[in-house]
Amino acid sequence: MTDITPVPYIWKNGSLVAWEDAQTHVLSHSLHYGSGVFEGIRCYENDTTHKSYVFRLRDHMERLARSCKIAAIDLPYSVDELVEATLEVLRANNLKKGYIRPLVYRGYGVMGVDPSGAPIDVIIAVWPWDAYLGAEALKHGIKVGVSSWRQRSNNAIPPAVKATASYMNSLLAKLEAKEHGYAEAVMLNEAGRVCEGTGENLFIVRNGALITPPLSDGLLEGITRDSVLQIAADMYEAEEIDVFPVEESLVRTDLYIADEMFMTGSAAELTPVASVDGREVGSGECGEVTAALQKRFFEIVAGDNEDYADWLTEV
C-alpha cells in the first residue's frame, strides 16, 4: 500500500539525478533536528484522453514557500521554478499518475540546534502510488480510533507549517492506531477538540451540515480540505447535495453520532470512515453525501469537469 517503487530520476537542487544517486549525508541537520518542510501532491491520468494533470500544484508550492518562511528557511527557488521542476521530473520519468514529494531540508555542514550556516537542499521525488489507505477503503470506509496522543499546539510546532518534525506526533498516533486494529487515528488538540488525522483533515455530516474543524483548532490548512469546502458549497448551491459546509469545533462524541464521516488529504484523497472507537458511523459504509463529493472530486482531478480546470496543471 505504501511501498515506494523507484523511478529513474529525482530532481535535486536544480538538476535531475539518478534515483540511486539522490543521497544526503548522515550528518545533515534536518535528519537530526527535524528542520525540514515538505508537501504531498498527486498527479492523475484521465482514463479516456490519457492526459495527465497535477492537482493544485501551484497551491501546494505556495504552501511549501509559506512553510519555509515560518521555519526560517531561505528557499532558494521561486514557486514558478518549483512548478516547472515538478513537471520536468514527471516528464523525465514518464509518470502519468502517482505521488509527488517536494522536500526542503537543511543539509550537511553544521551540527547543533542552531541551524545557521547549514546549506539548504531541495528535492522533488515522484513515484507510482495507489490509494494511500487502500482501494477498498475508498469504497467501504475505514475504522479509526481517537488517539491518546494530542496534536501539537499552535505555539509549539505551528500547524501552518508542514514540517518533518510535526510528524513524530503523527507517527506515534499512527502506530497506536495500528496496535488497536484501526486504519487511522483521530487526534484531539490540547483543549480536547477534534483536530485531524495523522495526515488528513476530517469532515462529518450531521443535522443538515457538512462540518469540519476550523483552522484555529490547530489543524493543517489542507489543500484537499479547502477543495472539498469549495466543491460542497457549489454542489449545495446547485442542489446536488442537501448539506451546507461549515467550519465548527467538534468533540469526540460528535464523531460517534455523525451520520457520515470522511477524511481528506493528498494521500488519503477522500476516504469514508466506517467507525470511530468501535462505534459505527451512520450505516457503517460510505454515506450518500460522501459518495457524491468523492465522485465529483475524482471527476475534477481527472480533468472531467471544466468548472475546476484552473486547479489542474497538465503535465
CA 102 → CA 63, 125, 189, 257, distances in Å? 11, 6, 27, 38
Q: Cα separation of 135 and 259, whole Å?
A: 22
State the DSSP string of 40-90.
Answer: -EEEEE-TTT--EEEETHHHHHHHHHHHHHHTT---SS-HHHHHHHHHHHH
Task: Report which of 23, 28, 198, 197 is spatially closest to residue 123, judged by C-alpha positions.
Answer: 23
The number of angstroms, rounded, from the C-alpha of 236 to the middle of its chain's C-alpha atoms is: 25
Q: Cα separation of 311 and 241, whole Å?
A: 22
Reading the block at residue 223, the C-alpha cell is 489543500
Q: Cα separation of 273 and 255, whole Å?
A: 10
The two beta strands, 98-106 and 52-55, are unpaired
DSSP-assigned beta bridge partners for residue 133:
none
| Kind plus residue range of the DSSP H or E element containing 136 | helix 135-140
Q: At 88, which amino acid appears?
A: E
Whether 178 is a known active-site residue: answer no
Q: Which of 139, 162, 178, 295 is catalytic?
A: 162
Answer whether 5's CB lies under 8 Å from 127's CB: yes
Q: How many CB atoms lie within 10 A of CB 108?
A: 16
Task: Report which of 268, 308, 307 is spatially closest to residue 290, judged by C-alpha positions.
Answer: 268
Task: Report which of 176, 269, 19 is spatially closest to residue 184, judged by C-alpha positions.
Answer: 176
Task: Report which of 178, 187, 253 is spatially closest to residue 218, judged by C-alpha positions.
Answer: 187
448551491: which residue's cell? 237
The residues assigned a catalytic role are 162
